Amino acid sequence: MESQRSEKLPTRWEALVFMGKVLALRAKRRIRNIGQPVARHAPGDEAEFPLVLAESRTQLWSETEPEEQRLQLGKVHNLRLVARSIDRVVVPAGEVFSFWRQVGRPGSGKGFVPGRQIQEGCVVPAIAGGICQLSNALHDVALNAGLEVVERHSHTRSLPRSAWARGRDATVAWNYVDLQVRPVHETMVRVVLTGHELVVQLRGKAAAPTARASLTPLSGPLASAESCETCGMVDCFQRRSFENAPIEPRAAFLVDQVWPEYAAFVEQKAGPHDVLCLPVDGLRWKLGR
């Protein structure tokens, strides 16, 4: 099969123009949020929402190539961070749930790391990349539970082995590309990451008839997005900038007490990019730990 990938390399000028557009759209969204504010919803008691209205289960580890491992690990880490902001949130009847209002601005200061993100036709490393798997799942369960989709944006490219049929995905990008839904009845959102799956549920208090939302499939097949890790276009500036990052696997050592044997083990096993976590610097403060 002939590849759909374009041989045209992205340029720094195109990336600069793209960022200019992003900044303008972010400013426009901020102004809109001032005039039409959306509430941030609080978590509730799951026992009050015993009925599962809709559920989505998707695989966390969708890529098997060794070159993709770093972005896969980053994606799953980012999903766990986003899940903390959304899990058990209760959306009152008739009110809007906004993905970004609930999650807030993602950044490295909040623990987000590089993951997989589609940008200008390519899968590139980006801080908080990969969280679209969660927005996809939220849109899917919202459709199945009959919620009103207030705002939703589709991806411009498809990913290999994507589980999402055309018309059911929902991309997000801070803060100008949002996913917003509105339930008819009070609804709880549950987000759980197991070792292998992302599980998203919408839960209700009582069974109620719901109208299935209609899909809006895209016209024609989507072109497939190529990953920076495996596309083979080694002259691309985006790939070169990413290759400068360390590729060694990292481990974290959490120490609550220091023993000579454990200190020797860490010194022997720890790599140059590993992290040593110490609750208190005992030597500095003369605490003996």
Exposed/middle/buried for residue 139 (C-beta within 10 Å: 0-12, 13-18, 19+): buried
Residue 102: inside a domain: yes
Number of domains composing the chain: 2
pLDDT tens for each residue of 62-110: 766 767 788 888 899 999 999 999 999 999 999 999 999 999 999 988 9
Residue 159 and residue 260 in one domain: no
Residue 4: inside a domain: no
Span 3-7, mean pLDDT?
Answer: 49
Residue 234 and residue 269 in one domain: no
Residue 1: inside a domain: no
Percentage, residues of the chain above pLDDT 70:
73
Residue 269 and residue 200 in one domain: no
**What does the pLDDT read at residue 155?**
83
Structural domain of residue 182, as residue ranges?
A: 12-243
pLDDT grade for 2, boundaries at 50, 70 and 90: very low
pLDDT tens for each residue of 78-87: 999 999 999 9
Residue 186 and residue 280 in one domain: no
Most confident of 1-10, 134-143, 164-173, 211-220: 134-143
Residue 64: inside a domain: yes
Residue 6: inside a domain: no
Span 283-288, mean pLDDT?
Answer: 68
CA dihedral 150→155→158→163, nearest 10 degrees, is -30
Residue 2: inside a domain: no
Residue 193 and residue 220 in one domain: yes
Residue 195 and residue 269 in one domain: no
pLDDT tens for each residue of 46-57: 999 999 999 999
Alpha-carbon span 220 to 258, nearest angstrom: 61
Residue 135 and residue 189 in one domain: yes
More confident residue, 41 or 13: 41
Residue 158 has pLDDT above 60, yes or no: yes
Alpha-carbon span 148 to 128, nearest angstrom: 27
Residue 218: inside a domain: yes
Alpha-carbon span 130 to 120, nearest angstrom: 16
Residue 274 and residue 142 in one domain: no
Residue 147 has pLDDT above 90, yes or no: yes
**What does the pLDDT read at residue 220?**
47
Q: Would the CA dihedral through 196, 202, 203, 206 be positive or negative?
A: negative
Query: What six digits make up the tokens of 84?
Result: 């903390």
Residue 77: inside a domain: yes
**What does the pLDDT read at residue 248?**
58
Cα dist from 175 to 15, 104, 162, 251, 277, whole Å:
18, 9, 24, 32, 33
Residue 227 and residue 269 in one domain: no
Residue 13 has pLDDT above 60, yes or no: yes
pLDDT grade for 164, boundaries at 50, 70 and 90: low
pLDDT tens for each residue of 169-223: 899 999 899 999 999 999 999 999 998 999 999 999 976 544 444 444 444 445 5
Residue 170 and residue 39 in one domain: yes
**What does the pLDDT read at residue 208?**
54
pLDDT tens for each residue of 25-46: 999 999 999 999 999 999 999 9
Residue 238 and residue 256 in one domain: no
**What does the pLDDT read at residue 237?**
53
Residue 39 and residue 81 in one domain: yes
